[in-house]
Amino acid sequence: MSQITAAEARASTDEAKVVIDCLMAKAKSAMEAFENADQETVDEAVTALAWSIYKPARARKLAETAVRDTGLGNVESKVIKNMRKTFGCLRDLMRVRSVGIIEERPEKGLVLYAKPIGVVAAVAPSTNPAATPVNKAMMAVKGRNAVIVAPSPAGLSTTSQTVEYMRDELRKVGAPEDLVQVLPAPVNKTLTQELMNQADLIVVTGSQNNVRRAYSSGTPAIGVGAGNVPVIIDSTADLQDAAKKIMMSKCFDNATSCSSENSVTILDDVYEDAIQALKNAGGYLVTSVEKQKILDTLWVDGHLNRHVIAKDPDVLAEHCGLSEEAKSAKFFLVEDQNGVGEDYPLSDEKLSLVLTVYRATNFREAKTHVQNVLDFVGMGHSVGIHTKEEAHARELAEDLRVVRVLVNQAHTFGNGGSFDNGLNFTLSMGCGSWAGNSISENLNYKNFLNITHLVRTIPEDKPSEEALFGNHWEKYGK
């Protein structure tokens, strides 16, 4: 590094520190003003944050801005995401306590008190520049924390407008508007890194580079893993139902979700019927020549082509040079052999309407294959299965290194919480130590709380030596 470049780097770092110092001071002042808020006041502020994006006109405006600026996804899906995720998250948050005593365990002599974590650095992705900041802000403020959002450069306009809406709604209910702030333009790595360094907690959704930087910052961090969801269709599946759900999930927001299906592994004895069901649901089975065109177009120098990912199906088909018939499809089925890894790019996350199709002789082979896929990309994230055989679902949950196993569900709609499953609503899915993450659950309000334990004595709970060592002594002696 030259002296000039080094000097510029130092100046950039110094400027970033001044900016973040100011934001942090405002955030801490807002927290001080909010620290004595009771549960009702906190919940009022959280509801205000939800309304900031749930209001239909705003949900649509932010969706339109996001698609225009990032070129990712489609407006109608983002409207649904802005509203559905927010509504579900609000439902979850209104059902729990986060102020004062949140739990008592008299049999253990314990009383649990919730306390704020502090100032949260919330790193947001370009795929969800509106819904994710609101989702994280709601959880953070539920714990009486302040949050500073670090947008992606592509999503800056959308995220900044979203934060302004949140601040407006906080003002209306008398809550400090500086509980929610956003990094100013121009957003860059230096500014985001300084925010990570100064915050009390970092929560990162999106780029795995940002996740790694967060965990290496020295600040407590919650990062989430990469998606690359594999799904199994077994011999007992309702093929029409499975195909419909896979289509709905795959097509939602043009497959930008980390929970979107990237491959389907079909058991041999139902393979042809399952393919037909997927075609009936709007899938187009590409030819071998078209498969090569997709491979040549979807990746450029080993990286996903931003001109193709998350585009409408007719746009993707046009870019790839597919047939006229393909342009009227909803998504694209690409058959591949069961190889996984760098030499088999179709086993990777594709962020597009391309669904890799594998064939397995039996369930055991399918189970091994989906684990191989996750080991390549998507460690710990999730897997889906369409089946009527409960034992198959249980076997996946018992044997796979994965946090979530979804059964007979449209994966995108179920993985981050749904009204018909028990997962909490979130846009950030922890993937456990398998992905180098600190959580193995959906991000939720508890991740934004410190807990104080009031501890009283209870009747002595001390078993005898015989009770604890008896079996061991009997087998192995003293």
DSSP class per residue in 306-336 = TTTTT--HHHHHHHHT--TTGGG-SEEEEE-
Known catalytic membership, residue 258 = yes
- Count CB neighbours of 339 within 10 A: 12
- Coil/strand/helix, residue 375: helix
**Cα gap 445→424, rounded to integer Å:** 10
Residue 441 DSSP class: S
**Cα gap 228→262, rounded to integer Å:** 6
Output the CA angle 21-154-75, nearest 5 degrees.
Answer: 125
Residue 27 in tokens: 């955030």
Burial-class residue 472 by CB neighbours within 10 Å (0-12, 13-18, 19+).
exposed
166 within 8 A of 137, measured Cβ to Cβ:
yes
Residue-wise over 377-394: b if at least 16 C-beta within 10 A, else e? bbbbbbbbbbbeeeebbe
Catalytic residue, from 89, 258, 320, 431: name it: 258
447 within 8 A of 222, measured Cβ to Cβ:
yes
User: Positive or negative CA dihedral for 44, 50, 56, 58?
Assistant: positive
Question: Which residues are catalytically annotated?
Answer: 258
